[in-house]
Amino acid sequence: MKKTILSASHLVKAYKAEAESFSEAISRLLRSQKTKSFRAVNNISFEIKEGEILGLLGPNGAGKTTTINMLLGLLKPTKGEIRIFGKDFSLFREEILEQMNFSSAYNELPYLLTVRENLTIFGRLYGVKNLKVRVEELIKVFELGELANKTQGTLSAGQKARLNLAKAFVNNPRLVLLDEPTASMDPDIADKVRKFLLETQKKFKTAILFTSHNMAEVEEVCDRVIFINKGKIIAEDTPDGLAKRIKNVKVNLRIKDGQKRTLSWARKNDWRANVSGRFVEIETTEEEIAWLLAGLAEENVEYNEIAIDKPTLEDFFLQEARNKSPK
């Protein structure tokens, strides 16, 4: 059994509603009504095991950042409990944070310090042993060598993201929270970062909470995913398991003759169809593909290319992000 590194139980973060007028306040008091509040995070529970990469997905405003801020101690939960390394976070915050770290592509490190100075300062704050060796290792891993003596303020967005990520691993943390860590990075560097995360996970059994809007990236690195919308967890599964919850597949045909007959056959069966030049894309269930092709044969439709695209995690994301009524 793998150890539970992080356990969040029934977390709630509520904020008071926007300021009301004097007359509204008096009316509410006369009716003995309580002040309305908005729940950015609404009773969520989840765990991260040792050596697991857990994806935290959801549309903008879903509650991801609020959740991360509570896990870092930057926000105090309205209700609920956080346990990290088996200890109550509210009681052992300082001790726990020594073994954690965090990175966001949108955070700024000290502006006037160089890359090497930033890593050195944060290494000292964490009490890292053999710090010079560790700093040079990270500079090499994240390809920061040519930037080592440049100040953070002169770096591009992608370079800052790499520095932030290097900082997140300076203390060899047992638990890392990564908020869109590869945003703004070149594809080549982002690929190397993903390989580094997987190697670190395997070698040191590092537990990682990972947010990203790149669904292909999530499918590559995450063992399990929780999907949050409007403050609630509405799905939890492996990336492949979530993708399989989408029933429809997309059948792409390059029509040689009979495009109108193809569209007519799709309408008769209530299948959604999209046209792009000679290509027709039809959404249907996997079980109905044979019926679709048989019908096209009966209609004497000729096509010289066919491709079947099965659902992906991105399809699940889009479906749930558009769902305005999470369970």
Instruction: Please spell the DSSP secondary structure of 239-277, one letter per residue.
Output: HHHHHTT--EEEEEEEEEE-HHHHHHHHHHTT-EEEEET
Confidence category of residue 302, pLDDT binned at 50, 70, 90: very high
Tokens matching residue 308: 């079947």
Given pLDDT bands bounded at 50, 70 and 90, which one contains residue 29?
Answer: low
The domain spans of the chain are 248-310
**pLDDT at site 37:** 77
Bigger pLDDT: 106 or 276?
276
pLDDT at 300 over 60: yes
At 9-25, the pLDDT tens digits run 999 999 886 555 566 66
| Statement: residue 105 has pLDDT above 90 | no
Cα 264 to Cα 268, 274, 292, 295: the distances in Å are: 6, 12, 12, 11
- Environment class of 211 (CB within 10 Å of its CB; exposed 0-12, middle 13-18, buried 19+): buried
Helix, strand or coil for residue 44?
strand
Average pLDDT, stretch 237-253? 94
Residue 326: pLDDT band with limits 50, 70, 90: very low
Give residue 327's pLDDT.
Answer: 46
More confident residue, 325 or 298: 298
Backbone phi, psi, residue 77, to 5° = -60, 140
And the tokens for 18? 């926007």
Q: How far apart are CA 89 and CA 75, in angstroms?
A: 12
Report pLDDT for 34.
Answer: 63
Mean pLDDT of 314-324: 84
In sequence order, what are the residues at sequence separation of 6 or more whose Cβ sits closer than 8 angstroms to the Cβ of residue 209?
Answer: 6, 48, 54, 56, 68, 71, 175, 176, 177, 178
Tracing tokens 């004097």 back to the chain, one arrives at 22
Instruction: Indicate the pTM of the whole model.
Output: 0.84
What gap in Å lies between CA 324 and CA 293, rounded to an integer?
35
Residue 117 contacts residue 75 (beta carbons within 8 Å): no
The CATH topology of domain 248-310 is Alpha-Beta Plaits (3.30.70)
Mean pLDDT, rounded, of the chain: 92
H-run or E-run covering 118: helix 115-125
285-304 residues labelled b (16+ CB within 10 A) or e (exposed): eeebeeebeebbeeeebebe
Using 50, 70 and 90 to split pLDDT, how confident is the model at 26? low
Q: Which residues contact 31 (CB under 8 A, 6 or more apart)?
A: none
pLDDT tens sequence across 130-188? 999 999 999 999 999 999 999 999 999 999 999 999 999 999 999 999 999 998 899 99
Q: What is the mean pLDDT of residues 259-286?
A: 95
Give per-residue pLDDT as tens, 30-62: 676 666 678 999 999 999 999 999 999 999 889
Burial of 121 (0-12, 13-18, 19+ CB in 10 A): middle
CA 32 to the chain's CA centroid: 42
